[in-house]
Protein backbone atom coordinates (compact mmCIF):
# COMPACT_ATOMS: atom_id res chain seq x y z
CA UNK A 1 0.00 0.00 0.00
CA UNK A 2 1.29 3.46 -0.87
CA UNK A 3 1.19 6.20 1.72
CA UNK A 4 2.73 8.94 -0.46
CA UNK A 5 1.18 9.66 -3.86
CA UNK A 6 3.40 11.74 -6.13
CA UNK A 7 3.00 13.41 -9.51
CA UNK A 8 6.16 13.77 -11.59
CA UNK A 9 6.16 16.76 -13.94
CA UNK A 10 8.64 16.36 -16.78
CA UNK A 11 8.92 13.51 -19.27
CA UNK A 12 12.57 14.20 -20.18
CA UNK A 13 15.86 12.70 -19.00
CA UNK A 14 15.75 14.09 -15.46
CA UNK A 15 12.08 13.23 -14.97
CA UNK A 16 12.89 9.66 -15.94
CA UNK A 17 15.72 9.53 -13.39
CA UNK A 18 13.23 10.57 -10.71
CA UNK A 19 10.87 7.81 -11.85
CA UNK A 20 13.74 5.33 -11.51
CA UNK A 21 14.48 6.51 -7.97
CA UNK A 22 10.88 6.59 -6.82
CA UNK A 23 10.38 3.01 -8.05
CA UNK A 24 12.90 1.89 -5.43
CA UNK A 25 11.22 3.67 -2.49
CA UNK A 26 8.67 1.58 -0.59
CA UNK A 27 5.21 3.03 -0.12
CA UNK A 28 5.45 5.60 -2.94
CA UNK A 29 3.04 5.66 -5.87
CA UNK A 30 3.50 7.78 -8.98
CA UNK A 31 -0.11 8.84 -9.43
CA UNK A 32 0.39 11.05 -12.48
CA UNK A 33 2.93 11.98 -15.12
CA UNK A 34 2.77 15.58 -16.36
CA UNK A 35 4.58 16.43 -19.58
CA UNK A 36 5.02 19.05 -22.22
CA UNK A 37 4.47 16.72 -25.17
CA UNK A 38 1.24 14.69 -25.16
CA UNK A 39 2.69 11.93 -27.32
CA UNK A 40 5.90 11.54 -25.30
CA UNK A 41 4.05 11.78 -21.97
CA UNK A 42 1.47 9.17 -22.92
CA UNK A 43 4.17 6.83 -24.19
CA UNK A 44 6.30 7.14 -21.05
CA UNK A 45 3.30 6.75 -18.74
CA UNK A 46 2.35 3.52 -20.54
CA UNK A 47 5.92 2.21 -20.38
CA UNK A 48 6.16 2.94 -16.65
CA UNK A 49 2.68 1.72 -15.74
CA UNK A 50 1.47 5.15 -14.62
CA UNK A 51 -2.30 5.21 -14.82
CA UNK A 52 -2.81 8.95 -15.27
CA UNK A 53 -1.01 11.38 -17.53
CA UNK A 54 -1.67 14.96 -18.58
CA UNK A 55 -0.04 18.04 -20.06
CA UNK A 56 -1.79 20.24 -17.47
CA UNK A 57 -0.18 20.53 -14.03
CA UNK A 58 -3.46 21.83 -12.63
CA UNK A 59 -5.21 18.61 -13.66
CA UNK A 60 -2.66 16.56 -11.72
CA UNK A 61 -2.99 18.82 -8.68
CA UNK A 62 -6.73 18.17 -8.61
CA UNK A 63 -6.32 14.38 -8.40
CA UNK A 64 -7.87 12.97 -5.19
CA UNK A 65 -5.32 11.96 -2.60
CA UNK A 66 -2.30 13.50 -4.32
CA UNK A 67 0.35 14.39 -1.74
CA UNK A 68 3.28 15.83 -3.63
CA UNK A 69 4.79 16.92 -6.93
CA UNK A 70 8.32 16.57 -8.26
CA UNK A 71 9.05 19.27 -10.84
CA UNK A 72 11.55 18.26 -13.53
CA UNK A 73 10.30 20.89 -15.96
CA UNK A 74 12.13 23.67 -17.87
CA UNK A 75 14.02 26.07 -15.62
CA UNK A 76 11.91 29.18 -16.46
CA UNK A 77 8.83 27.38 -15.08
CA UNK A 78 10.30 26.22 -11.78
CA UNK A 79 9.41 29.07 -9.42
CA UNK A 80 5.87 29.68 -10.68
CA UNK A 81 5.03 25.98 -10.78
CA UNK A 82 6.49 25.35 -7.32
CA UNK A 83 4.39 28.18 -5.91
CA UNK A 84 1.29 26.73 -7.60
CA UNK A 85 1.97 23.36 -5.98
CA UNK A 86 2.38 24.94 -2.54
CA UNK A 87 -0.77 27.03 -3.00
CA UNK A 88 -2.65 23.80 -3.78
CA UNK A 89 -1.56 22.46 -0.39
CA UNK A 90 0.88 19.87 -1.81
CA UNK A 91 4.51 19.14 -1.01
CA UNK A 92 7.01 20.10 -3.72
CA UNK A 93 10.47 18.99 -4.81
CA UNK A 94 11.69 21.29 -7.58
CA UNK A 95 14.65 20.60 -9.81
CA UNK A 96 17.72 22.81 -9.56
CA UNK A 97 17.65 25.79 -9.89
CA UNK A 98 14.55 26.89 -8.00
CA UNK A 99 14.51 29.94 -10.32
CA UNK A 100 16.76 31.68 -12.83
CA UNK A 101 16.94 34.92 -10.85
CA UNK A 102 16.99 36.06 -7.23
CA UNK A 103 13.63 37.86 -7.23
CA UNK A 104 11.70 34.70 -8.15
CA UNK A 105 13.82 32.65 -5.73
CA UNK A 106 12.88 34.96 -2.87
CA UNK A 107 9.21 34.86 -3.87
CA UNK A 108 9.30 31.06 -3.76
CA UNK A 109 11.06 31.13 -0.38
CA UNK A 110 8.35 33.43 0.97
CA UNK A 111 5.65 31.06 -0.35
CA UNK A 112 7.43 28.12 1.29
CA UNK A 113 7.61 30.01 4.58
CA UNK A 114 3.84 30.62 4.50
CA UNK A 115 3.09 27.01 3.65
CA UNK A 116 2.93 24.02 5.97
CA UNK A 117 4.08 21.76 3.10
CA UNK A 118 7.58 20.42 2.50
CA UNK A 119 9.40 22.61 -0.06
CA UNK A 120 12.70 21.16 -1.27
CA UNK A 121 15.14 21.79 -4.12
CA UNK A 122 17.08 19.13 -6.07
CA UNK A 123 20.56 20.08 -4.90
CA UNK A 124 21.62 16.52 -5.65
CA UNK A 125 25.31 17.00 -4.85
CA UNK A 126 24.41 17.11 -1.15
CA UNK A 127 23.14 13.54 -1.53
CA UNK A 128 25.66 11.88 -3.86
CA UNK A 129 27.52 9.26 -1.76
CA UNK A 130 30.86 10.72 -2.89
CA UNK A 131 30.05 14.17 -1.52
CA UNK A 132 28.38 12.72 1.58
CA UNK A 133 31.62 10.85 2.35
CA UNK A 134 33.59 14.10 2.24
CA UNK A 135 30.91 16.01 4.15
CA UNK A 136 30.85 13.46 6.99
CA UNK A 137 34.61 13.74 7.45
CA UNK A 138 34.52 17.53 7.42
CA UNK A 139 31.75 17.52 10.05
CA UNK A 140 33.70 14.99 12.16
CA UNK A 141 36.85 17.16 12.04
CA UNK A 142 38.84 14.63 9.98
CA UNK A 143 39.22 16.96 6.97
CA UNK A 144 39.47 20.69 6.45
CA UNK A 145 38.67 21.90 2.96
CA UNK A 146 41.32 24.21 1.54
CA UNK A 147 40.39 24.42 -2.14
CA UNK A 148 37.46 23.02 -4.12
CA UNK A 149 38.38 22.88 -7.83
CA UNK A 150 35.50 22.07 -10.17
CA UNK A 151 35.12 21.52 -13.91
CA UNK A 152 31.60 21.54 -15.40
CA UNK A 153 31.95 20.76 -19.09
CA UNK A 154 29.35 20.10 -21.79
CA UNK A 155 29.17 20.34 -25.57
CA UNK A 156 25.96 22.26 -26.31
CA UNK A 157 26.41 24.64 -29.22
CA UNK A 158 22.80 24.02 -30.24
CA UNK A 159 19.72 24.42 -28.08
CA UNK A 160 19.22 20.75 -27.22
CA UNK A 161 18.61 18.82 -24.01
CA UNK A 162 20.58 15.93 -22.51
CA UNK A 163 18.81 13.52 -24.88
CA UNK A 164 19.85 15.55 -27.93
CA UNK A 165 16.31 16.81 -28.49
CA UNK A 166 15.52 20.46 -29.38
CA UNK A 167 14.35 22.54 -26.42
CA UNK A 168 12.27 25.73 -26.42
CA UNK A 169 14.17 27.39 -23.59
CA UNK A 170 17.86 28.17 -23.10
CA UNK A 171 20.01 26.66 -20.38
CA UNK A 172 22.44 28.85 -18.41
CA UNK A 173 25.92 28.19 -17.05
CA UNK A 174 25.55 30.52 -14.05
CA UNK A 175 21.95 30.09 -12.91
CA UNK A 176 21.80 26.35 -13.49
CA UNK A 177 25.15 24.59 -13.67
CA UNK A 178 27.11 26.86 -11.33
CA UNK A 179 24.27 26.58 -8.83
CA UNK A 180 25.34 23.00 -8.03
CA UNK A 181 28.85 24.05 -7.06
CA UNK A 182 27.93 27.31 -5.31
CA UNK A 183 25.55 25.44 -3.02
CA UNK A 184 27.95 22.53 -2.49
CA UNK A 185 30.86 24.81 -1.56
CA UNK A 186 28.77 26.68 1.00
CA UNK A 187 27.25 23.42 2.29
CA UNK A 188 30.60 21.67 2.70
CA UNK A 189 32.22 24.63 4.45
CA UNK A 190 29.12 25.60 6.44
CA UNK A 191 29.74 29.22 5.46
CA UNK A 192 28.48 31.82 3.00
CA UNK A 193 30.92 33.08 0.38
CA UNK A 194 32.31 36.47 1.41
CA UNK A 195 34.24 37.24 -1.79
CA UNK A 196 33.04 36.28 -5.26
CA UNK A 197 34.10 36.99 -8.84
CA UNK A 198 32.87 35.77 -12.23
CA UNK A 199 34.21 36.16 -15.77
CA UNK A 200 32.49 35.06 -18.96
CA UNK A 201 33.49 34.52 -22.56
CA UNK A 202 31.71 35.79 -25.68
CA UNK A 203 27.96 35.37 -25.99
CA UNK A 204 26.67 32.79 -28.46
CA UNK A 205 25.32 34.66 -31.52
CA UNK A 206 22.05 32.70 -31.54
CA UNK A 207 21.54 31.49 -27.98
CA UNK A 208 22.51 34.82 -26.40
CA UNK A 209 24.32 33.18 -23.48
CA UNK A 210 27.96 32.92 -22.45
CA UNK A 211 29.36 29.55 -23.49
CA UNK A 212 32.34 29.70 -21.11
CA UNK A 213 32.67 31.03 -17.59
CA UNK A 214 35.11 31.12 -14.67
CA UNK A 215 34.04 31.64 -11.06
CA UNK A 216 36.10 32.18 -7.90
CA UNK A 217 34.83 32.29 -4.33
CA UNK A 218 36.16 32.30 -0.80
CA UNK A 219 34.47 31.82 2.58
CA UNK A 220 35.51 33.46 5.88
CA UNK A 221 37.61 30.43 6.89
CA UNK A 222 39.83 31.08 3.84
CA UNK A 223 38.72 28.04 1.84
CA UNK A 224 38.76 28.75 -1.90
CA UNK A 225 36.56 27.52 -4.74
CA UNK A 226 37.62 27.66 -8.40
CA UNK A 227 34.91 26.72 -10.91
CA UNK A 228 35.32 26.45 -14.68
CA UNK A 229 32.25 25.95 -16.89
CA UNK A 230 31.83 25.43 -20.63
CA UNK A 231 29.24 24.53 -23.25
CA UNK A 232 32.09 24.42 -25.80
CA UNK A 233 33.95 21.37 -24.49
CA UNK A 234 34.17 18.59 -27.08
CA UNK A 235 35.51 15.91 -24.77
CA UNK A 236 34.64 14.13 -21.52
CA UNK A 237 31.35 15.61 -20.32
CA UNK A 238 30.00 16.21 -16.84
CA UNK A 239 31.34 17.66 -13.62
CA UNK A 240 34.49 16.74 -11.70
CA UNK A 241 35.05 17.98 -8.13
CA UNK A 242 38.56 17.99 -6.69
CA UNK A 243 38.59 18.44 -2.89
CA UNK A 244 42.03 19.62 -1.83
CA UNK A 245 42.10 19.19 1.95
CA UNK A 246 44.59 19.38 4.77
CA UNK A 247 44.50 15.59 5.03
CA UNK A 248 44.23 14.30 1.48
CA UNK A 249 42.88 15.07 -1.97
CA UNK A 250 39.66 13.52 -3.24
CA UNK A 251 38.03 13.60 -6.67
CA UNK A 252 34.28 13.12 -6.97
CA UNK A 253 32.27 12.55 -10.13
CA UNK A 254 28.60 12.17 -9.32
CA UNK A 255 28.30 9.09 -7.06
CA UNK A 256 31.94 7.90 -7.43
CA UNK A 257 35.04 8.94 -5.46
CA UNK A 258 38.80 8.41 -5.82
CA UNK A 259 41.74 9.83 -3.92
CA UNK A 260 44.43 12.05 -5.41
CA UNK A 261 46.36 9.00 -6.68
CA UNK A 262 43.32 7.54 -8.41
CA UNK A 263 42.62 4.85 -5.81
CA UNK A 264 38.91 4.07 -5.62
CA UNK A 265 37.22 4.87 -2.29
CA UNK A 266 34.34 2.55 -1.44
CA UNK A 267 31.31 4.74 -0.73
CA UNK A 268 28.78 1.91 -1.05
CA UNK A 269 28.09 1.94 2.70
CA UNK A 270 27.60 5.70 3.00
CA UNK A 271 23.85 5.46 2.44
CA UNK A 272 21.16 2.99 1.41
CA UNK A 273 21.76 3.55 -2.32
CA UNK A 274 24.51 4.58 -4.70
CA UNK A 275 22.10 6.79 -6.67
CA UNK A 276 22.19 10.43 -5.58
CA UNK A 277 18.85 11.26 -7.18
CA UNK A 278 17.18 8.33 -5.42
CA UNK A 279 18.71 9.42 -2.10
CA UNK A 280 17.47 12.96 -2.66
CA UNK A 281 13.96 11.66 -3.41
CA UNK A 282 14.13 9.47 -0.31
CA UNK A 283 14.87 12.56 1.78
CA UNK A 284 11.84 14.32 0.26
CA UNK A 285 9.55 11.38 1.05
CA UNK A 286 10.99 11.01 4.57
CA UNK A 287 10.45 14.71 5.30
CA UNK A 288 6.80 14.38 4.19
CA UNK A 289 6.26 11.33 6.40
CA UNK A 290 8.03 12.86 9.40
CA UNK A 291 6.65 16.39 9.02
CA UNK A 292 10.07 18.05 9.09
CA UNK A 293 12.29 20.35 7.05
CA UNK A 294 14.39 18.37 4.57
CA UNK A 295 18.05 18.75 3.78
CA UNK A 296 18.18 21.17 0.78
CA UNK A 297 14.92 22.87 1.65
CA UNK A 298 14.01 26.00 -0.28
CA UNK A 299 14.95 28.02 2.81
CA UNK A 300 18.43 26.47 3.01
CA UNK A 301 19.12 26.76 -0.72
CA UNK A 302 18.14 30.42 -0.97
CA UNK A 303 21.68 31.40 0.09
CA UNK A 304 23.07 29.79 -3.07
CA UNK A 305 20.72 31.93 -5.16
CA UNK A 306 21.85 35.05 -3.33
CA UNK A 307 25.47 34.16 -4.07
CA UNK A 308 24.64 33.57 -7.75
CA UNK A 309 23.06 37.00 -7.88
CA UNK A 310 26.21 38.54 -6.42
CA UNK A 311 28.31 36.64 -8.98
CA UNK A 312 26.14 37.89 -11.82
CA UNK A 313 26.68 41.46 -10.68
CA UNK A 314 30.46 41.01 -11.10
CA UNK A 315 30.18 39.99 -14.77
Residues 21-52 pLDDT 10s: 999 999 999 999 999 999 999 999 999 999 99
Distance in angstroms (rounded) separating the CA atoms of residues 221 and 188: 12
Assess if residue 117 is contained within a domain.
yes
Average pLDDT over residues 112-123: 98
Residues 124-170 pLDDT 10s: 999 999 999 999 999 999 999 999 999 999 988 877 766 677 777 77
In the prediction, which pLDDT does 89 show? 98
In the prediction, which pLDDT does 304 show? 98
Assess if residue 66 is contained within a domain.
yes
Assess if residue 287 is contained within a domain.
yes
Domain that holds residue 99: 4-123+276-295
Query: Are 11 and 53 contained in the same domain?
Result: yes
Residues 10-19 pLDDT 10s: 999 999 999 9
In the prediction, which pLDDT does 233 show? 93
pLDDT at 289 over 90: yes
Query: Are 168 and 310 contained in the same domain?
Result: yes
Query: Are 187 and 43 contained in the same domain?
Result: no
Query: Are 13 and 81 contained in the same domain?
Result: yes
Give the full edge-to-edge strand order of the sheet including 195-200: 195-200, 212-218, 224-230, 145-153, 238-245, 248-253, 256-259
Query: Are 90 and 28 contained in the same domain?
Result: yes
CATH assignment of the domain containing 254: 3.30.360.10
In the prediction, which pLDDT does 170 show? 77
Query: Are 29 and 102 contained in the same domain?
Result: yes
Rounded to the nearest 5°, which phi and psi values hold at 126? -65, -25
- The answer to which of 166-175, 213-222, 231-240, 276-285 has the lowest mean pLDDT is 166-175
In the prediction, which pLDDT does 165 show? 74
In the prediction, which pLDDT does 166 show? 78
Residues 66-106 pLDDT 10s: 999 999 999 999 999 999 999 999 999 999 999 999 999 99
The answer to whether the beta carbons of residues 33 and 52 sit under 8 Å apart is: yes
Query: Are 96 and 150 contained in the same domain?
Result: no
pLDDT at 295 over 80: yes
In the prediction, which pLDDT does 161 show? 67
Query: Are 160 and 309 contained in the same domain?
Result: yes
Percent of the residues in the chain that have a pLDDT greater than 70, as a whole number: 99
Distance in angstroms (rounded) separating the CA atoms of residues 117 and 67: 10
Query: Are 18 and 67 contained in the same domain?
Result: yes
Query: Are 229 and 255 contained in the same domain?
Result: yes
Average pLDDT over residues 106-128: 98
Name the average pLDDT for the chain: 96
- Smallest CA-to-CA distance from 226 within 185, 172, 175, 180 is with 185
Assess if residue 300 is contained within a domain.
no
- Smallest CA-to-CA distance from 284 within 143, 64, 58, 126 is with 126
Torsion on CA atoms 89, 93, 95, 96, rounded to nearest 10: 100
Query: Are 238 and 113 contained in the same domain?
Result: no
In the prediction, which pLDDT does 1 show? 60
Q: Model confidence at 236, in pLDDT bands (50, 70, 90)? A: confident
How far, CA to CA in Å, does 22 sit from each of 285, 293, 309?
Answer: 9, 20, 33
User: What is the gyration radius of the CA atoms in the chain, in angstroms?
Assistant: 19
Query: Are 207 and 255 contained in the same domain?
Result: yes
Total domains present in the chain: 2
CATH assignment of the domain containing 67: 3.40.50.720
Assess if residue 182 is contained within a domain.
yes
In the prediction, which pLDDT does 159 show? 75
Amino acid sequence: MSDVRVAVAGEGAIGQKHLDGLARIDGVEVASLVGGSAEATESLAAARGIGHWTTDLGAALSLPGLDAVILATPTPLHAAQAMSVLEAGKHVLVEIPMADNLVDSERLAEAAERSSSVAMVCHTRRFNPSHQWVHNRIVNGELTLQHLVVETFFFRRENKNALGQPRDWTDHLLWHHACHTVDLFQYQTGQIADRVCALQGPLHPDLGIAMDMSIAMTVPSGALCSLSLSFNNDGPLGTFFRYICDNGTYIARYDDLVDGRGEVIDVSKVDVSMDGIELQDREFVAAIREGREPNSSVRQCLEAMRTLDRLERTL
